[in-house]
């Protein structure tokens, strides 16, 4: 981890608060516009951002996850099955279920896979998404197989049906807001613990931090946040289909987080919004948007490791106070000390 990203993270909870506030602002959209294109764009952005939050949580522990589609599928299919087969349509109940079921699924899984780090963790999560895809196709009794689950009833809020475009956007915004709030609370509340794990897991452990507690908790929360994104996606499409959760869609969510910047919670927000906007506004659909994402990943990794947000932050710091910022950027080893491991644990 660089001194820059550390300094970005030490700026209070501004990034977290700003992320939550930006998402909350989308509640206004249905009242100021009736343009279906804007609704569609906002829906896609919010789903992308929520899924990218999941990647962000794991990146805070230096774990790159490809498992987002897996947990999105669990959340999405949970909602679809509850609605279709059990008649549950209340948005609050479904929202809780779409968070809790993937999180519960992640706990025993995390106990197994979180022993792995680095490349092995990447590979195990990639394999997991492949297995999920095959399971979705091979279990038609549960998941509808290659047909998926269709004909879901509209969700309701205290008996009011939320079926039109405006209501769907409100539901997506609510789910994204819940995801953002949970992400902010967890990454802010455990920032020092996560930073210790990211910086040097072995050292943190040797200094008394029960690392696997935090990793398992972070993994479960990330899974839950993915589940919320899965709910939003299924609710928008009105179908739960395996192709909505393809293994390589995880690449997009990683791209949003990396290109936006993994050093702050604003990164996934900016990355998700920017890339979805670029893909839609410039009519860069399908293959073109993939090329753009790929190109941006290469550029960001080679030239701007902190992503869009981190780079803007760094340039801003330089412009405002060139003297002190340069010294803070070249932080001494003491400044990079990981304080968490020595602190009392909750």
Partner 1 sequence: MQGFVATGLIGISLGAQYALLALGFTLIFGILGVVNFAHGGFYVLGGYLAYSAVTFLGMPYALAVVCAALGTTGLGYLFERFALDRLIDDHLATLMLTLGLYMMMSSGILVIFGPQSPAFAFPLTGVIRGYGFFVPVENLVVLGICIVGILSIYGLMYHTDFGRALRALADDRAVATAQGLRPTVLFPAAFALATGLAGLTGALVTPILSLAPHIGDPVLATSFLIVILGGLGSVGGATVAAFLVGMVEAFSAVYLGGSKGALALFVLVLVMLVVKPSGLFGHRVRGA
Binding residues vs partner 1 (CB under 8 A): 62, 64, 112-113, 115-120, 122-124, 126-128, 130-131, 134-135, 137-138, 247-248, 251, 254, 258, 286-288, 290-291, 293-298, 301-302, 305
* CB 80, min distance to partner 1, A: 22
* CB 276, min distance to partner 1, A: 16
* CB 247, min distance to partner 1, A: 7
- Structural contact between residues 47 and 208, judged by C-beta atoms closer than 8 angstroms: no
* CB 267, min distance to partner 1, A: 14
- Structural contact between residues 114 and 212, judged by C-beta atoms closer than 8 angstroms: yes
User: Whose structure tokens read 């809020």?
Assistant: 157
- Dihedrals φ, ψ of 157, to 5°? -130, 105
Identify which of residues 113 and 177 has a Cβ nearer to partner 1 in the complex. Answer: 113
Identify which of residues 98 and 252 has a Cβ nearer to partner 1 in the complex. Answer: 252
Identify which of residues 187 and 250 has a Cβ nearer to partner 1 in the complex. Answer: 250
Question: Which helix (DSSP H) or strand (DSSP E) does residue 152 occupy?
Answer: none
* CB 169, min distance to partner 1, A: 29
* CB 138, min distance to partner 1, A: 6
Residues in the chain: 346
Identify which of residues 135 and 185 has a Cβ nearer to partner 1 in the complex. Answer: 135
77-81 — which CB contacts under 8 Å span 24+ positions? 77/136, 77/142, 77/143, 77/149, 77/230, 77/234, 77/240, 78/102, 78/227, 78/231, 79/152, 79/230, 79/231, 79/234, 79/235, 79/240, 80/149, 80/152, 80/234, 80/239, 80/240, 81/142, 81/149
Identify which of residues 166 and 305 has a Cβ nearer to partner 1 in the complex. Answer: 305
Identify which of residues 179 and 260 has a Cβ nearer to partner 1 in the complex. Answer: 260
């Amino acid at each position: 981890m660089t001194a820059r990203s550390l300094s970005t993270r030490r700026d209070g909870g501004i990034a977290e608060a700003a992320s939550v506030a930006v998402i909350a602002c989308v509640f206004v959209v249905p009242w100021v516009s009736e343009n279906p294109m804007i609704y569609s764009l906002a829906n896609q952005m919010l789903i992308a951002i929520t899924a990218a939050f999941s990647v962000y949580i794991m990146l805070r522990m230096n774990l790159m996850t490809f498992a987002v589609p897996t947990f999105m599928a669990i959340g999405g299919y949970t909602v679809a099955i509850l609605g279709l087969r059990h008649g549950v349509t209340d948005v609050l109940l479904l929202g809780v279920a779409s968070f809790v079921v993937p999180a519960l699924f992640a706990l025993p899984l995390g106990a197994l896979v979180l022993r792995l780090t680095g490349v092995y963790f990447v590979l195990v999560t990639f394999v997991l998404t492949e297995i999920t895809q095959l399971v979705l196709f091979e279990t038609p009794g549960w998941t509808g197989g290659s047909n998926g689950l269709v004909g879901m009833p509209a969700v309701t809020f205290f008996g009011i049906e939320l079926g039109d475009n405006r209501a769907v956007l409100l539901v997506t915004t609510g789910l994204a807001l819940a995801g953002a709030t949970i992400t902010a609370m967890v990454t802010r509340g455990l920032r020092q613990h996560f930073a210790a794990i990211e910086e040097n897991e072995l050292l943190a452990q040797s200094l008394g931090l029960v690392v696997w507690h935090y990793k398992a908790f972070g993994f479960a929360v990330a899974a839950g946040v993915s589940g919320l994104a899965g709910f939003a996606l299924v609710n928008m499409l009105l179908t739960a289909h395996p192709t909505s959760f393809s293994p390589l869609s995880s690449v997009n969510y990683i791209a949003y987080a990396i290109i936006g910047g993994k050093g702050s919670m604003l990164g996934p927000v900016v990355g998700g919004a920017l890339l979805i906007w670029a893909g839609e506004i410039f009519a860069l659909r399908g293959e073109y948007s993939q090329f753009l994402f790929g190109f941006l990943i290469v550029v960001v990794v080679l030239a701007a490791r902190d992503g869009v947000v981190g780079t803007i932050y760094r340039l801003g710091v330089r412009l405002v106070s060139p003297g002190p910022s340069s010294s803070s950027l070249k932080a001494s080893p003491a400044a990079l000390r990981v304080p968490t491991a020595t602190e009392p644990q909750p």
